[in-house]
């Protein structure tokens, strides 16, 4: 087994011209990126939640880039831009990005870590909440559930993450660790695939467990012996206690008769 985590991550490339001009227009305040990934249809969210997001995004000094599955949206604030497809890693690697609001999918989480961007997780289903809870425990992001979504909670979380230096430093530290590898994950994977091909399956590296029976693999004989010894020990101790109790009772009865 070869660890090649983050194989899909890559350095950021320049943004498309129109998007670059829009980001440049944000000035020193920078911009925020909001995406619920590709497995969720954003336009299916409850209208109440959409209005809360628009209210908060429209009140921010930063521009907001929102991955949305339609080209237009009613009552869109002037500082918010929609995009049906957006180059996520190029956006995450842009130094003007202040915050990534994400659903917390595994790939997005790893990409955020790779580029050193603090996140606000708004998980929807599956592993997303556990991913974001882990990020929060590790100190480079926060979690806001949809049940707790209000204009106040969203605003407070956004402002906290963008202004908290500890979160940004921790995100940057994890990025350095993730990138500090002797070989790129893609290069590593290609090398080992070709290695296995060159050596006809590389049987010398194959795990011994492949050739073991299930009894050997799960140490059934060992556990059977351990359980048997434990049962025997309990039985012996129980027998000794019973014998001692009978002996004491017998001595008391004899003493009474005397």
What pLDDT digit, counting tens, does each position of 47-69 carry? Answer: 999 999 999 999 999 999 999 99
- The residue extents of the domains of the chain are 17-185, 216-257
CA distance 167 to 170: 5
Q: Indicate whether 216 pLDDT > 60.
A: yes
pLDDT at residue number 249: 81
DSSP 8-state assignment for residue 208? G
Burial class of 96 by CB neighbour count within 10 A (0 to 12, 13 to 18, 19+): middle
pLDDT at residue number 230: 95
Q: At what angle do helices 47-58 and 151-163 cross, to 10 degrees?
A: 40
DSSP 8-state assignment for residue 179? H
17-185: CATH class: alpha beta
- The 10s digit of each residue's pLDDT in 42-51 is 888 899 999 9
Residue 126: pLDDT band (50, 70, 90) is confident
Residue 257: pLDDT band (50, 70, 90) is low
Nearest to 106 by CA among 83, 85, 87, 125: 125
Instruction: Return the structure tokens found at 159.
Output: 């402002």
Q: How far is CA 133 from CA 19, 25, 91, 123, in A?
A: 32, 34, 24, 10
Residue 256: pLDDT band (50, 70, 90) is low
């Amino acid at each position: 087994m070869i660890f090649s985590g983050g194989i899909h991550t890559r350095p950021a490339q320049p943004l498309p011209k129109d998007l670059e001009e829009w980001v440049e227009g944000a000035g020193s305040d920078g911009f925020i990126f909001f995406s619920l990934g590709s497995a969720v249809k954003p336009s299916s969210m409850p209208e109440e939640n959409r209005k809360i997001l628009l209210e908060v995004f429209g009140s921010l000094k930063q521009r907001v880039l929102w991955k949305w599955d339609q080209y237009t949206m009613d009552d869109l604030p002037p500082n918010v831009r929609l995009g049906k497809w957006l180059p996520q890693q190029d956006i995450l690697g842009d130094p003007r990005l202040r915050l990534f609001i994400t659903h917390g999918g595994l790939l997005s989480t790893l990409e955020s870590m790779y580029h050193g961007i603090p996140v606000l997780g708004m998980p929807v289903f599956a592993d997303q909440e556990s991913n974001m809870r882990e990020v929060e425990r590790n100190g480079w992001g926060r979690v806001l559930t949809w049940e707790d979504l209000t204009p106040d909670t969203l605003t407070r979380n956004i402002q906290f993450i963008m202004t908290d230096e500890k979160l940004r430093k921790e995100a940057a530290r994890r990025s350095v660790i993730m990138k500090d590898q002797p070989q790129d994950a893609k290069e590593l994977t290609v090398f080992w695939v070709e290695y296995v091909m060159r050596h006809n399956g590389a049987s010398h590296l194959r795990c011994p467990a492949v050739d073991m029976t299930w009894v050997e693999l799960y140490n059934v004989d060992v556990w059977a012996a351990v359980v048997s010894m434990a049962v025997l020990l309990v039985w012996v101790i129980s027998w000794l206690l019973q014998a001692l109790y009978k002996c004491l009772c017998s001595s008391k009865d004899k003493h009474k008769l005397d």
